């Protein structure tokens, strides 16, 4: 593969793939689970430590296996083809494609703020609860447009990525600055006044709606369950940084630049995320965050900061953010499916590059399946179910660093994990606590996604029915 991506391009890919729609929405549900500005920031800090620790750990593997495929390649090389395939199966069926669909739908929904007729238009087709709307069509159009742009060569995708990622970083910095300068009444002290002793849990009415007056103090294991539930949102907003490892084969000096891009990119994004949440806590009171209309907490905060123009400003920011995010996801994901095809683990036609030296067939397969998920309307449920599995695969990969150190200590490691073994252990401890608490308190986020990934096993054995697993 041609080495057309420099360090700056790789950093933009990391940051652009991470920053989508989540940071503008998830803090509402997190506040409903936490009820305290203190705990909201603590959960974001925990997620930040967790994310950067994983990126630092992945760096050692990216230097050992500096080729396309990234996490799929690491898992296959360390634990065998079966584990690599299960990750790739999950990536294609929902992790990458479901995220692409969800981000594209967020683009469509925020576009409808600027073009209300999109919301008001009658469905194109409806049968019972299933319907096809113009917002879904717009989301599909965005996916197909970005897929086409990326078939024109990695240069096209790179330029688009840099422009949109740079734009949303500048816009976020502007929002952060305005969130402290232009707010007339600060709610920061009030939101932090609940402190560690005032953790609250919301009650619901008979219809299942949250009661604003239903806050009640909780603690102990229930507190830990609330933290785990809140982390589903913060973790979802902080994934996809590993996408840069998928395109390692096209990055200059991948043994150094991939790890640098992951560490610099994840650190910068988590600092931005924490700062944005301080803006929410400054601009809105607790109820304003928890009960923001349609969970669009960024819109509510922006209205307090910019007045009536706030909705338009945030709608434009989310459109820029989601468009750039999806470009990064689309650019990177197809490289995994191409690598899988070369290993005989995916459709053979996905292996080929077109005249522009990019995996056009893999790009279109990814784009078409993501479009089908948009039409199904199930991408949101799928992503909720798969969050648990995403963290499990992160944990397995991070454990791979320790496993390889014990199994093959003689390997030449161009980059060694900083503060090894403390850094990978930090991730494994936090990840284990997160998964155990979800298994106890939020099982709807756990076993369905796990079953979905395990469905890949019969597919794997069918593909390998005449092969010997190495």
Q: For 429-454, what is each residue's pLDDT tens digit?
A: 999 998 888 888 778 778 888 888 89
Residues in the chain: 470
Chain-wide mean pLDDT for the chain? Answer: 89
Q: What is the mean pLDDT of residues 307-325?
A: 90
* Cα gap 269→237, rounded to integer Å: 10
Paired strand residues for 125: 132
The C-alpha atoms of residue 105 and residue 425 are separated, in whole angstroms, by 36
| Least confident piece of the model among 201-210, 277-286, 362-371, 421-430 | 201-210
So what's the pLDDT on residue 470?
A: 47
The answer on pLDDT for 468 being more than 60 is no
pLDDT of residue 469: 47
Mean predicted confidence (pLDDT) in 356-382: 88
Instruction: Tell how strand 125-127 and strand 200-201 pair up.
Output: unpaired
Count Cβ atoms within 10 A of the Cβ of residue 198 and give its class: 0-12 exposed, 13-18 middle, 19 or more buried.
middle
User: What is the arithmetic mean of pLDDT over 455-467?
Assistant: 85
H or E stretch at 200? strand 200-201
Tell whether the model's pLDDT for residue 321 goes beyond 90: yes
Q: Which pLDDT score is estimated for 17? A: 93
- Strand positions, DSSP E, 84-219: 125-127, 130-132, 200-201, 216-217
> Looking at residue 380, what is its pLDDT?
67
Gyration radius of the chain's alpha carbons: 22
Distance CA 174, CA 41 (A): 20
Strand 125-127 and strand 216-217: the pairing is unpaired
Q: Token pair for residue 429?
A: 């401890």
Residue 342 has pLDDT above 80, yes or no: yes
Upper half-sphere CA count for residue 78 (Cβ side, 13 Å):
26
Q: Which range is most confident: 112-116, 209-213, 282-286?
A: 282-286
Q: CB–CB of 422/429 below 8 Å?
A: no
**In the prediction, which pLDDT does 457 show?**
93
Phi, psi of 203 (to 5 degrees): -90, 160
The CA–CA distances, whole Å, from 285 to 9, 219, 292, 294, 311 equal 39, 22, 11, 17, 18
Q: Is 467 exposed, middle or buried (0-12, 13-18, 19+ CB in 10 A)?
A: exposed
pLDDT for residue 127: 83
Pairing assessment for the beta strands 200-201 and 130-132 based on DSSP bridges: unpaired
Cis peptide bond upstream of 41, omega within 30: no
Task: Evaluate if residue 116 carries a pLDDT over 90.
Answer: no
Mean pLDDT of 192-210: 76
Angstrom distance (rounded) from CA 84 to CA 77: 8
């Amino acid at each position: 593969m041609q080495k057309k991506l420099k360090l700056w391009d790789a950093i933009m890919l990391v940051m652009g793939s991470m920053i989508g729609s989540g940071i503008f929405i998830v803090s509402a549900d997190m506040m409903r689970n936490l009820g305290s500005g203190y705990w909201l920031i603590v959960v974001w800090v925990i997620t930040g430590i967790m994310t950067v620790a994983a990126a630092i750990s992945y760096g050692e593997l990216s230097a050992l296996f500096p080729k396309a495929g990234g996490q799929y390649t690491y898992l296959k090389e360390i634990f065998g083809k079966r584990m690599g395939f299960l990750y790739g199966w999950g990536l294609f069926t929902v992790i990458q494609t479901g995220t692409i669909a969800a981000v594209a739908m967020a683009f469509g929904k925020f576009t409808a703020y600027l073009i209300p007729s999109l919301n008001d238009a009658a469905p194109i087709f409806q049968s019972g609860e299933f319907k096809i709307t113009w917002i879904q069509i717009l989301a599909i159009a965005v996916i197909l447009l970005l897929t086409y742009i990326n078939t024109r060569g990695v240069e096209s995708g790179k330029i688009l990525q840099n422009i949109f990622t740079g734009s949303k970083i500048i816009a976020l910095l502007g929002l952060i600055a305005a969130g402290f300068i232009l707010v007339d009444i600060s709610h920061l002290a009030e939101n932090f006044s609940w402190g560690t002793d005032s953790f609250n849990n919301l009650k619901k009415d008979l219809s299942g709606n949250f009661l604003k007056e239903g806050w009640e103090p909780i603690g102990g294991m229930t507190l830990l369950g609330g933290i785990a539930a809140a982390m589903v949102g913060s973790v979802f907003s902080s994934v996809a940084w590993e996408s840069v490892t998928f395109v390692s084969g096209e990055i200059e000096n991948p043994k150094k630049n991939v790890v640098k891009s992951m560490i610099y990119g994840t650190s910068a994004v988590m600092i931005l995320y924490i700062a944005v949440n301080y803006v929410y806590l400054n601009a809105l009171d607790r109820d304003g965050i928890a009960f923001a209309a349609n969970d669009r907490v960024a819109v509510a905060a922006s209205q307090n900061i910019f007045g009536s123009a706030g909705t338009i400003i945030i709608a434009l920011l989310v459109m820029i953010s989601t468009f750039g995010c999806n470009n990064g996801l689309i650019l990177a994901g197809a490289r995994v499916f191409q690598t899988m095809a070369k290993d005989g683990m995916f459709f053979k036609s996905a292996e080929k590059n077109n005249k522009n030296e990019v995996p056009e067939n893999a790009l279109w397969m990814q784009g078409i399946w993501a479009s089908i998920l948009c039409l199904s309307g199930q991408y949101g449920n799928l992503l909720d179910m798969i969050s648990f599995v995403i963290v499990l695969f992160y944990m397995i990969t991070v454990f791979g660093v320790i496993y390889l150190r014990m199994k093959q200590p003689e390997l030449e490691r161009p980059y060694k994990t900083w503060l090894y073994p403390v850094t990978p252990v930090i991730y494994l401890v936090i990840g284990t606590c997160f998964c155990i608490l979800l298994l106890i308190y939020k099982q709807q986020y756990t076993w369905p996604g796990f079953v979905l990934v395990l469905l890949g096993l019969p597919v794997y054995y069918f593909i390998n029915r005449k092969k010997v697993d190495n």
